[in-house]
Amino acid sequence: MRGALGPWAIATLALAGCSSPSSPGASDDAGTPTPVDVSDYVGSDWNGTVVTTATCGTPAPGTSYGVVGLSFVAQGSGISGTLTTEAGCTFDFAVSRATATLSNAPVKCTSTVAGIMVETTYSAVVLTNSDGQSLTGTFTAMATADGSSCTSTGTLTATR
């Protein structure tokens, strides 16, 4: 992990321990329900990187980089997954075609970073996977520790 905000970066890239049922599938132009295909998410594990930009007032925003591992299983019409960056959070994703969208926001996660208790609240996570081999995502979160808060946005890229 490198960057000016090491502990915050670790906390904010904690897209963490995900579980996810989901909402019903999409509809075609005629309004007919389209079955949701989650096969592009499930199966082999995903490995990739997370880039997080945290804004904590002053100084200027800091960017950090991290490694993440993900795995998903089918659950209802969505996906349930886990990430290696943090344990104990549950993320539910609704899947519509190639996009999985966080459906149980806000998600609150608590972790200890460099001996400090950090609560990270995710307000949005969107994953995109059009080929079953490449996964991209974005997230928005707020991390709070010792009375200070940082707003974080990030991107995730993974392959299998």
What's the length of the chain?
Answer: 160
CATH number for 6-23+33-159 (one of 3.40.1130, 1.20.1070, 1.10.10, 2.40.128): it is 2.40.128
- Cβ(116)–Cβ(7) under 8 Å? yes
Tell me the pLDDT band of 139, cut-offs 50, 70 and 90: very high
Mention every residue, 6+ apart, whose C-beta is less than 8 A from residue 148. Answer: 56
pTM for the whole structure: 0.72
pLDDT at 45 (0 to 100):
86
Query: Which of these, 96, 81, 80, 152, lies nearest to 128 by C-alpha position?
Result: 96
Question: Which tokens sit at 135?
Answer: 């996964």
| High-pLDDT (> 90) share of the chain, % | 24
Q: Is the peptide bond before 35 cis (omega within 30 degrees of 0)?
A: no
Q: Where are the domains of the chain?
A: 6-23+33-159
